[in-house]
Amino acid sequence: MVYSQSKYYLALLGLVLSINLKSQSFKEDPGAIHGNFQFDGAYYQKDSAIGADPGSELFRYNAFGNITYTRGGFSAGGRFESYNPPLLGFLSGYKGSGVPYRFARYAHKDIDITVGNYYEQFGSGIVFRAYENRGLLYDNAMDGMRVIFRPKNGITLKGVIGKQRTYFSLSPGTVRGIDGEVNVMELFDSTLGKLKTKVIIGGNFVSKYQQDQDPTLVLPENVAAGSGRFTVIRGGFNFNAEYAFKANDPSYQNHYSYRDGHALIASTSYATNGFSFLLSGKMIDNMSFRSDRNATNTIDMINYLPDFSKFHTYSLMAYYPYATQPNGEIGGSAEIQYKVKKGTWLGGKYGMDITLNGSMFFGTDTTGIPVIKDTANHYKYTTNYGSVGDEYYHDFNIEITKKFTKKLKMTLMYANQFLNQSIVQFNTLDKEEHPDIHSNIGVIDLTWRYKSNSAIRFEGQGYFASYDYKDKKIDPVTNEKNIIGNTGSWVSALVEWTPSTHWSITVADQYNYNNPDITKRVHYYYGMLAYISGPTRISISYGRQRQGIFCAGGVCRFVPASNGLSLSISSSF
Amino acid sequence: MKQLIVISSAIILTLTSFTFNNGGKLPSATVKNLDGTSINSNTFSNDGKPMIISFWATWCKPCKKELDAINEEYAELQKETGVKLIAISIDDARSSGKVVTDVKSKGWTYEVYIDENQDFKRAMNVNNVPHTFLIDGKGEIVWSHNSYAEGDEEILFENVKKLVKGEKISH
């Protein structure tokens, strides 16, 4: 289906181009062609010490290239993608090659029209967000048409219709939506322009259609959702909130409950030179919204439910990350950033940055409805909004960055984390295989810039965990202490040498030093050589990659352990 | 066989990209400033003086290192060359609230915009952050650089100075 549409698209593109080519102005301004591409390939090997088994397809790669033609307000382009097969840890449904993304767009003054594929979001995206994250291979691009209209400064109207990308094909459902946003200050620029308070309000309505082919259930074929939002900004203060509603939408993800869905997210911040404070909170109840009610993983998601926990970049800080729970979740985060001034006792010559961050998330407090009382409604459960359910996750952390001299910089970080792994990552109550995890994590990161364009960076990390099996402490079969899913604690060290701004060499080792299974106390060594010039980066790496969890769009995927040689190339022109 | 074709085309594209000059004007995409006002990227200007456009994110360590390193010399560089730095955050709803708090608490004086659904990033063909562009007084993209290593900011400063003097810039 995608390919027959491509033909029409190419014919349309050809027509537009041929009209352009004949015109006199084309000879003066032929337009510009730009693009980018990335290739990540790996040759895997079997490594029984870490449980890495790539199967029979040892060479795998993810590759894409974009090409866009632009001339004035007109642009058109496409993306070729190829995964034969995709790298380990990515959804195998992507296996194949094709041009799943192609578009033509015309924008002039107050109107902006796109045919083909496009990405778009309404408000914060909790009802509708089509986006891509190429590194995670998340792509729910729309295939259809979009119109953006700005009738007046400060007013934006958007309309979208189409189907979402599903691997190299399209979702069985159709999505259509409208959004309006009014920036009050911009709208009344002449009279209110000097007002100190800025107010932005917006709202949207989105509906999806999917045929009911279920022989037993009467499923709603049209499902409506919508949200309202507002932002108020005054001086250093910032407040914004969005509330979303979704009509009954039984799906695989919500166990075919016919209840309505609700989501509320809000955040407020205050920022001034050298000090800031940010508080975010959310309540989500039955808000999984997909264009295919049977979809799993990161496929066919219409909305985006942001996770407010800290986005960690140190690998052991992110060993067990959190992800939004679309079926039900209450929580929030707070962060204070403070810059100790230069010239003070603590600040020294260059000042010192301190960041305090904390987040906590709980399940919603739900009560199951007995099947016999639920035959008419199929609600399955009720939610008590006055209280919260089990704790899902917390992360309290502090980060201090200090520059001692022109040459020496240091970052210290400590975190205390908790993860209710069985619910958050495996959607089960089974603590025997997926125990709760309590951890303390420390990081030291030192950069010594020994010449103006040469530096050595050292990173040391420690992850110290305890695993809680609740009442499943003893394995019922062997009668021994349960150690399933327990990987114990880890330490890691990394040295990165950049002899010049073009080259970088990294060697690293992660050591699972006290895994309760003695045979798994292994070193995960890793080395990488990278060359960078302008927009181009090429790297070759070799080593072991531990198994891990990667989360995108509120869904986590498991990445198996691997060992092998990797090549990455990325560039743009 | 297919794999071989993909790899060899990737290598060929890489080699050709070394010879390509970036060129071209800024494409059109809508971004929002920290007051929530929509701005079209093709209206970015600095009265005939050069501009630096730097793509970053609140969760990107090297991006913040780069912007911190530039910030230490920014006031001086501005005085000398009249350059302006435009910082484009690609944070989405998960962390876009952190953009204003990061910028203020770090004391950056850059012009900051949020590219929440990455439309401008896509239009500029940015693969990964940080990615920094240099735009000359006529609005042409003349140089770009991906990733950050200690010392990259000095190459950027040199290029800004060369651009103001009308000299050829190095890659």
Do A498 and B149 count as a contact with CB atoms less than 8 A apart? yes
Q: Per-residue confidence at B16, pLDDT binned at 50, 70, 90?
A: low
In this structure, the answer to whether residues A265 and A402 fall within a common structural domain is: no
User: Please, what is the average pLDDT of chain A?
Assistant: 91
Number of domains in chain B: 1
Q: How far is CA B65 from the centre of its chain?
A: 14
Decide if A477 is inside a domain. Answer: yes
Decide if A515 is inside a domain. Answer: yes
Q: What is the CA radius of gyration of chain B?
A: 17
Decide if B170 is inside a domain. Answer: no
Nearest to A337 among B6, B37, B105 (CB): B105
In this structure, the answer to whether residues A302 and A331 fall within a common structural domain is: no
Residue of B nearest to A452 (CA): B151
Residue A147: CATH number of its domain: 2.40.160
In this structure, the answer to whether residues A334 and A269 fall within a common structural domain is: no
In this structure, the answer to whether residues A365 and A511 fall within a common structural domain is: yes
Q: How far is CA B139 from the centre of its chain?
A: 14
Q: Per-residue confidence at A196, pLDDT binned at 50, 70, 90?
A: confident
Helices (H), A23-141: 24-28
Whole domain around residue A255: which residue ranges? 109-306
Q: Tokens standing for B38?
A: 């929509």
pLDDT at A559: 78
Number of domains in chain A: 2
Nearest to A276 among B3, B22, B101 (CB): B101
Residues on chain B touching A185 (C-beta within 8 angstroms): 35, 37
Do B171 and A134 count as a contact with CB atoms less than 8 A apart? no
Give the residue from A2, A70, A67, A16 showing the smallest Cα distance to A37. A67
Residues on chain A touching B132 (C-beta within 8 angstroms): none
In this structure, the answer to whether residues A284 and A360 fall within a common structural domain is: no
Do A339 and B143 count as a contact with CB atoms less than 8 A apart? no
Decide if A377 is inside a domain. Answer: yes
Q: How far is CA A62 from CA A2, A101, A327, A567, B88, in A?
A: 21, 16, 32, 11, 27
Q: How far is CA A553 from the centre of its chain?
A: 5
Do A265 and B151 count as a contact with CB atoms less than 8 A apart? no
d(CA A29, CA A25) in angstroms, rounded, equals 6
In this structure, the answer to whether residues A300 and A336 fall within a common structural domain is: no
* In the predicted structure, residue B1 carries a pLDDT above the cut 90: no
* In the predicted structure, residue A145 carries a pLDDT above the cut 70: yes
Decide if B6 is inside a domain. Answer: no
Do A186 and B37 count as a contact with CB atoms less than 8 A apart? yes
Do A41 and B7 count as a contact with CB atoms less than 8 A apart? yes
pLDDT at A399: 97
Residues on chain B touching A63 (C-beta within 8 angstroms): 6, 10
Compute the nearest-CA separation of B82 from chain A (Å).
23
Q: Which of 372-391 (A) contact B at CB < 8 A?
A: none
Decide if A98 is inside a domain. Answer: no
Task: Kindly state the percentage of chain B with pLDDT values over 90.
Answer: 79
Task: Kindly state the percentage of chain A with pLDDT values over 70.
Answer: 91
Whole domain around residue B139: which residue ranges? 22-165
In this structure, the answer to whether residues A222 and A326 fall within a common structural domain is: no
Compute the nearest-CA separation of B59 from chain A (Å).
6
Nearest to A274 among B35, B107, B128 (CB): B107
What confidence tens digit (pLDDT) does each residue in A359-401 have?
999 999 999 999 999 888 899 999 999 899 999 999 999 999 9
Decide if A559 is inside a domain. Answer: no
Decide if A376 is inside a domain. Answer: yes
What confidence tens digit (pLDDT) does each residue in B22-76 have?
567 899 999 999 999 999 999 999 999 999 999 999 999 999 999 999 999 999 9
In this structure, the answer to whether residues A284 and A404 fall within a common structural domain is: no
Residue B160: CATH number of its domain: 3.40.30.10
Task: Give backbone dihedrals phi and psi of B103, rounded to 5 degrees, phi first.
Answer: -60, -45
What mean pLDDT is predicted for residues A318-331?
Answer: 93
Give the residue from A154, A155, A173 showing the smallest Cα distance to A163. A173
Compute the nearest-CA separation of B147 from chain A (Å).
8
Burial class (CB in 10 A: 0-12, 13-18, 19+), A572: buried
What confidence tens digit (pLDDT) does each residue in A200-231 have?
999 999 999 999 988 888 999 999 999 999 99
d(CA A284, CA A261) in angstroms, rounded, equals 8
Nearest to B93 among A97, A277, A306 (CB): A306
* In the predicted structure, residue A346 carries a pLDDT above the cut 60: yes
In this structure, the answer to whether residues A270 and A339 fall within a common structural domain is: no
In this structure, the answer to whether residues A135 and A268 fall within a common structural domain is: yes
Do A267 and B97 count as a contact with CB atoms less than 8 A apart? yes
User: Does the model's ipTM exceed the 0.95 cut?
Assistant: no
Q: Which of 220-279 (A) contact B at CB < 8 A?
A: 231, 233, 236, 238, 240, 265, 267, 269, 271-278
The reply to whether A70 touches chain B by the CB within 8 Å rule is yes
What mean pLDDT is predicted for residues A289-312?
Answer: 94
Decide if A542 is inside a domain. Answer: no
Q: Per-residue confidence at B2, pLDDT binned at 50, 70, 90?
A: low
Do B24 and A34 count as a contact with CB atoms less than 8 A apart? yes
Q: Per-residue confidence at A1, pLDDT binned at 50, 70, 90?
A: very low
Burial class (CB in 10 A: 0-12, 13-18, 19+), A516: middle
DSSP A453-520: TEEEEEEEEEEEEEEE-GGG-B-TTT-SB--TT----EEEEEEEEEEETTEEEEEEEEE-TT-SSGGG
Residues on chain A touching B151 (C-beta within 8 angstroms): 449, 451-455, 498, 500-501
Decide if B82 is inside a domain. Answer: yes
Decide if A154 is inside a domain. Answer: yes
Beta carbons within 8 Å of A434's beta carbon, 6+ residues apart: A421, A422, A425, A426, A428, A485
What confidence tens digit (pLDDT) does each residue in A111-133 have?
999 999 999 999 999 999 999 99
Nearest to B146 among A277, A504, A537 (CB): A537
In this structure, the answer to whether residues A229 and A330 fall within a common structural domain is: no
- Count Cβ atoms below 10 Å from residue A278 Cβ, excluding itself: 24
In this structure, the answer to whether residues A492 and A420 fall within a common structural domain is: yes
Decide if B35 is inside a domain. Answer: yes
Residues on chain A touching B171 (C-beta within 8 angstroms): 533-534
Do A306 and B98 count as a contact with CB atoms less than 8 A apart? no
Best probe of the A interface among B94, B114, B118, B119, by most A CBs < 10 A, is B94
Residues on chain B touching A272 (C-beta within 8 angstroms): 104
pLDDT at B20: 44
Residues on chain B touching A280 (C-beta within 8 angstroms): 97
What mean pLDDT is predicted for residues A41-67?
Answer: 94
What mean pLDDT is predicted for residues A190-201?
Answer: 77
Residue B139 identity: G
SS3 content of chain A, % helix, strand, coil (to 5): 10, 55, 35
**pTM, whole model, 2 decimals?**
0.92
User: Please, what is the average pLDDT of chain B?
Assistant: 89
What confidence tens digit (pLDDT) does each residue in A15-34 have?
555 555 555 566 677 888 99
Q: Per-residue confidence at A3, pLDDT binned at 50, 70, 90?
A: very low
pLDDT at B67: 97
**A339 and B107 Cβ atoms separated by less than 8 Å:** yes
d(CA A356, CA A350) in angstroms, rounded, equals 20
Chain A to chain B Cβ contacts (< 8 Å): 211
Task: Kindly state the percentage of chain A with pLDDT values over 90.
Answer: 75
